[in-house]
């Protein structure tokens, strides 16, 4: 009889960890023991997974004893310290942080696009891409396979949950301050009303959009923008792909959206692009503007696919397509893709 591999969820009490437990309860039950691991202050809590109450244990070296696969949903610095520990104990680590994504010895995997690289893991670690990259890359991977991608221009419209619980709490609090007021009609009135309550954002997000996500990098680029560029190149196997990205934070709780201008090697047709998108696993084509049908975060939140609409050929370039894509940044953008990678690894035990 095939042994069912054991699984650890590190960061089980966090925002992504909570979604992960839901996903593990919804997907095929392929795991043996599921061990929930979190910081010492969370040890002893009980969380529901697969219909059972499981007690959370503290993050220690001993916590990985007997674990086959360890999914990490923790900050970069925690993953950087503890993922090698788990790997040294014999677990295959699937890491959702940014700590290892650009490590040449760590595969960066999106199962619908490049599942074949998951076994190339000399460090025993597999990385999960950033939520913004994941909101578009399944659709782009399918189009690239058919047309050959030459360059990419992207603008993101990112939900506040991308900044964690603090982002969600900040927007909710700001909305309570501006609801039912006349704010937003004169320069700086929203900023003055909200004061210092901007949370993880440099400016208010309520009644506003903020053209910044991440931390400062060279020449004025943000870390979030560089992640989209670097990760897209690595996932698609196009190390010199020209990519330009502007990341914008918007007053949406969950669900990242992106506008995409993609140039290909040869002339493209909307009909062929729609056919590809409509038949790609993990993608939903929802595109009838005349009927008011196109994806929005309010529609796709809580769902797993990448939703694509507004598919057009560029007006001035027959080799380019314009798209609008949407995805739940906590599901496919984080927890689901991590779970899918873990399932690929689990299949090696059969």
The CA radius of gyration of the chain, in Å to the nearest whole number, is 21
d(CA 214, CA 223): 5
d(CA 213, CA 74): 19
d(CA 5, CA 29): 11
Does 256 participate in catalysis according to the annotation? yes
Catalytic hit among 116, 144, 247, 256: 256
297: part of which helix (H) or strand (E)? helix 297-300
Q: Which of 105, 2, 84 is nearest to 348 (CA)?
A: 2
Coil vs helix vs strand at 84: helix
Catalytic hit among 131, 144, 247, 326: 131
> Are 285 and 308 contacting, i.e. CB atoms less than 8 angstroms apart?
yes
d(CA 270, CA 287): 12
> Are 131 and 247 contacting, i.e. CB atoms less than 8 angstroms apart?
no
DSSP symbol at 117: G
- In the β-sheet with 57-58, what is the strand arrangement from edge to edge? 57-58, 34-38, 7-10, 69-72, 92-95, 125-127
Active site (catalytic) residues: 131, 256
């Amino acid at each position: 009889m095939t042994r069912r591999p054991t699984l650890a969820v590190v960061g089980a009490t966090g925002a992504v960890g909570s979604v992960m437990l839901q996903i593990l309860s919804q997907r095929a039950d392929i795991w043996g023991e599921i061990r929930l691991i979190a910081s010492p202050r969370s040890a002893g809590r009980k969380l529901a997974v697969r219909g059972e109450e499981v007690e959370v244990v503290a993050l220690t070296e001993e916590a990985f004893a007997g674990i086959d696969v360890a999914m990490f949903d923790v900050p970069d610095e925690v993953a950087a310290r503890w993922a090698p520990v788990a790997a040294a104990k014999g677990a295959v680590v699937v890491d959702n942080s940014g700590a290892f994504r650009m490590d040449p010895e760590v595969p960066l995997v999106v199962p619908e696009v490049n599942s074949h690289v998951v076994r190339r893991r000399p460090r025993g670690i597999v990385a999960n891409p950033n939520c913004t990259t994941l909101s578009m890359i399944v659709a782009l991977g399918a189009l690239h396979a058919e047309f050959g991608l030459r360059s990419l221009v992207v603008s993101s419209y990112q939900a506040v949950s991308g900044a964690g619980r603090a982002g969600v709490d900040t927007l909710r609090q700001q909305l309570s301050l501006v609801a039912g007021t006349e704010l937003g009609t004169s320069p700086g009135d929203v900023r003055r009303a909200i004061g210092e309550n901007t949370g993880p954002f440099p400016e208010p997000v309520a009644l506003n959009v903020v053209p910044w996500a991440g931390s400062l990098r060279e020449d004025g680029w943000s870390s979030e923008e560089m992640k989209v560029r670097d990760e897209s190149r690595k996932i698609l196997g196009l190390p010199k792909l020209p990519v330009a990205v502007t990341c914008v934070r918007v007053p949406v709780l969950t669900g990242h959206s992106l506008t995409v201008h993609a140039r290909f090697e040869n002339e493209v047709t909307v009909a062929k692009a729609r056919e590809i998108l409509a038949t790609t696993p993990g993608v939903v084509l929802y595109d009838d503007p005349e009927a008011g049908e196109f994806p929005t975060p309010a529609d796709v939140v809580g769902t797993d696919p990448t939703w694509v609409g507004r598919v057009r050929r560029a007006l001035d370039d027959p080799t380019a397509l314009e798209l609008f894509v949407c995805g739940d940044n906590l599901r496919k953008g984080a927890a689901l893709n991590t779970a899918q990678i873990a399932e690929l690894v689990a299949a090696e035990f059969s």
